[in-house]
Structure 1
């Protein structure tokens, strides 16, 4: 069948217990709704009773109402296999809120990729517990909110941040070296929607001052870890990790410079995957397609 209209690209992510008939049921459903599958990636932890994960991109050849109908109708298929699933239009740009403190390298990497069109999101706001990066952020035409945080005002500061995030309808949050530990209440408000960059190759050197710890151990690789935030500090589902090689001549400050380079690359990659619906979270792990 030849279609003359511009197709609507959509993405479907599924996780469920592995069982016969999943791929057939999904493919038949999309065929019945005149959808054309353009890419399909799948992974099974154990074909005999493990978990099954699949990401499908498909095209529809009618308007957005058709997509809404397809998404609604798919619930019946999902229920029959007890699926966790999400279906998104590829054209919908997610809204990303950024939290930052004083260090700017991760923030500026995200802003540069956004302006260059490499990171296909909208950035409705940046929140910081310091005012030092206001000029850089507002230079991109993005609203900047300074919310100071102290031990005594933490609850009020988080409440203000939550209000701003909801007001701007942000889909997810990126902690671009935001040097504050979020409360369980805040994390619980945005489950699987907060991405953090940890300046270390987790699970090594958890917590503060990882470069001093790395120097003391004489490491030969400096790494960074992007992960979803949970109430367990630095132990949420890992999205991406990367490393750069160092040697015995590197001082703590030089390790920190190398670390900043790998941090910004690792975080930007993880954010891009999240924005493109390439990640499925299962327990404390991720499947990245």
Structure 2
């Protein structure tokens, strides 16, 4: 049977779960996984349902869902569960997250299809080539940033990318590009946000003598390091640690946090709730 994932959010009211399950049952759907959440602060209801159905085509399901969802004021999406998410990775000169994502992808640990790597440096063209992934070197300077971003977006759209991962891509995206990639671009920031935003967070952390360093995966927005947070983790440090020690230790945390965020997003487990996220693990 064809497997699908339905995600939705709408104003909360009694009977939504019953209505959704009844809609699927009437069309021969078999629910295999379901999760829900009521945000009492905003009055919104969130749901993710994975189901199998062979009585209707994907297009027919979408058409009937559109009519079903309207009275509930639902914001909904239907996905084919077994279709890998087309992904473009952007990187600068720190390659640990890129290397980790490529390995997990080829090992079958991430339900993605890496279509391209974009970088403002040439450092990792051989790494990309070893995975048979096209590598695009696009230098970025103040005077050429607009042209560089136009080329980046051209590649993203040409590859049909549903996800763009900033795997330590140490450039600030313009407001325009952030808007074009809204909801489909994930960044890894090497601190436990909202602490130590911006440049050189490990230097900031060392200067403050922290006992925990962290990493944060979040959606990219026009506000620097302010996007909705998907995943975070920490590692313990002490007064003996230098900036170099923090940086080395942090690489593992960054890679793990980014991989989890990419996995959950590509499995359609992350729903936006204003400036926050709801994650059905």
TM-score range, shorter chain: over 0.9
Q: Of 64, 74, 77, which residue of structure 1 is paired with 2:68?
A: 77
CA contact (8 A) 1:25 1:77 kept: no
| 1:223 counterpart = 2:217 | no
In structure 2, what is the Cα distance between the partners aligned to 1:168 and 1:235? 27
| 1:195 counterpart = 2:195 | no
2:47 maps to: 54
CA contact (8 A) 1:227 1:238 kept: yes
| 1:21 counterpart = 2:12 | no
Q: Of 141, 145, 149, which residue of structure 1 is paired with 2:136?
A: 145
CA contact (8 A) 1:60 1:67 kept: no
RMSD: 1.1
Q: Secondary structure at the match of 1:234?
A: coil
1:288 maps to: 279
In structure 2, what is the Cα distance between the partners aligned to 1:115 and 1:201? 29
Show CA shifts across 1:52-110 (max 9, x none). 11111111134xx6232112101112111001111101111110000000110000000
Task: Calculate the TM-score normalised by the size of structure 1.
Answer: 0.95
1:3 maps to: none
The count of aligned residue pairs is 280
2:267 maps to: 276
Q: Of 85, 91, 102, which residue of structure 2 is paired with 1:94?
A: 85
Q: Secondary structure at the match of 2:140?
A: coil
Unaligned runs of 5+ in 2: none
Unaligned runs of 5+ in 1: 1-6
Show CA shifts across 1:209-248 (max 9, x none). 1111111111111100000000000000000000111111
| 1:179 counterpart = 2:170 | yes
Task: Calculate the TM-score normalised by the size of structure 2.
Answer: 0.97
| 1:246 counterpart = 2:237 | yes
2:36 maps to: 42
In structure 2, what is the Cα distance between the partners aligned to 1:78 and 1:282? 18
In structure 2, what is the Cα distance between the partners aligned to 1:93 and 1:150? 34
